[in-house]
Every structure is written in structure tokens, then in C-alpha cells.
């Protein structure tokens, strides 16, 4: 009897440790999704699944129906939605909790170069916005952009499919 209790206790402990480790592993960023948040999914569905918070008013320059929602943990960032009657995810802005081919927020430009050899560095955003845009083309690993802060040389965000700037 004592062996059964000990064995079941050890098994439960192993399962809980494995589950905790899997839950804390960074999520995957691809050209169409970040973790379980997929481009084109309705806001209601993402909310039901507990992946995003409530809808909030978006950038005023995009119009009166612009909406966004914050990503829920373990992700950090936001999702911008279309202005249709049924809002769908259009842009995902990640500031933490996920990786694209092993590259995460806080890494350097050299890490992007190693993971995405076909990347394109766009320096036009350095002067007005203070970051370098690194564009990953569709044939180079998927449509996504990295924002690398000029002052620190570190990645500040990963955006799918591209960076959206609203002043």
C-alpha cells in the first residue's frame, strides 16, 4: 500500500513539474501566428479562449472604429483588429513571452542575422522613431518585422506581419 502511495505521489509531482516547465516555455512566432493567436481570428473568439483582454479604442488616425486588445500572459503586447463589423486580428505586436526561430525581445541584431539570413535592414526609421526596422520577407522565414532600439542595439518588439506606427 505504501509503495502505491509513494509511486502515485512521485508520478503526480513529475507531471506537475513537466506541465509547469511547458507552460513557461516561450511561445512560437510565425508569419501567421503568435502562440495560439492567429491572424484573421475574430476578437470574440480570442477573448473566449482567454488569449486577449477586452477591446479598447485604437489609434485616432486610423479612424473611429480602430480597436486593439492586450495579449494575455505569458505573452506581452497587443493585437490590432480590422475595422469591419466583425473585428479580426490584423497585426500582432509582441514585447515578450515568445520567440521567432529562437530570437526574442532583448536579443541583438546579430541574433536576427543568424536566424534569418535573408533579413532586410531598413534604417529610415532610425532618425524619426529611434529604432531600426528589420524586415523578414515571405521567402526568408515569413512576414514579420523586428524593431531594434538604436540607443541599445536590442530588440524591443516583434511584429506580425509588419510594424504599425501611429503618432
For residue 149, tell me if it sits in a domain.
yes
Range of the domain at 138: 27-160
For residue 45, tell me if it sits in a domain.
yes
For residue 11, tell me if it sits in a domain.
no
For residue 3, tell me if it sits in a domain.
no
Average pLDDT over every residue of 1-23: 52
For 94-118, write each residue's pLDDT tens digit: 999 999 999 999 999 999 999 999 9
Number of structural domains, the chain?
1
For residue 9, tell me if it sits in a domain.
no
For residue 14, tell me if it sits in a domain.
no
DSSP state of 138: G
**Mean per-residue pLDDT of the chain:** 88
For residue 1, tell me if it sits in a domain.
no
Residue located via cell numbers 526574442: 104
CA distance 164 to 114: 25
Residues 6+ apart with CB under 8 A from 113: 119
Q: Tell me the longest C-alpha to C-alpha distance in the chain.
A: 72
For residue 88, tell me if it sits in a domain.
yes
Q: Which of 19, 45, 39, 24 is nearest to 99 (CA)?
A: 24
pLDDT score of 162 more than 50: yes
For 58-76, write each residue's pLDDT tens digit: 988 888 889 999 999 999 9
Amino acid at each position: 500500500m505504501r509503495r502505491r502511495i509513494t509511486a502515485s505521489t512521485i508520478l503526480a509531482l513529475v507531471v506537475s513539474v513537466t506541465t509547469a516547465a511547458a507552460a513557461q516555455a516561450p511561445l512560437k512566432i510565425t508569419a501567421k501566428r503568435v502562440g495560439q493567436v492567429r491572424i484573421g481570428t475574430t476578437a470574440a473568439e480570442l477573448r473566449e479562449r482567454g488569449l486577449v483582454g477586452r477591446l479598447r479604442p485604437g489609434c485616432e488616425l486610423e479612424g473611429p472604429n480602430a480597436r486593439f486588445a492586450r495579449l494575455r500572459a505569458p505573452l506581452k503586447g497587443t493585437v490590432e483588429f480590422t475595422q469591419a463589423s466583425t473585428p479580426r486580428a490584423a497585426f500582432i505586436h509582441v514585447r515578450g513571452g515568445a520567440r521567432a526561430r529562437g530570437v526574442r525581445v532583448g536579443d541583438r541584431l546579430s541574433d536576427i542575422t543568424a536566424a534569418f539570413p535573408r533579413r532586410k535592414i531598413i534604417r529610415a526609421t532610425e532618425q524619426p522613431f529611434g529604432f531600426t526596422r528589420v524586415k523578414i520577407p515571405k521567402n526568408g522565414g515569413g512576414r514579420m518585422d523586428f524593431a531594434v532600439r538604436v540607443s541599445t542595439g536590442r530588440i524591443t518588439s516583434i511584429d506580425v506581419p509588419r510594424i504599425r506606427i501611429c503618432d
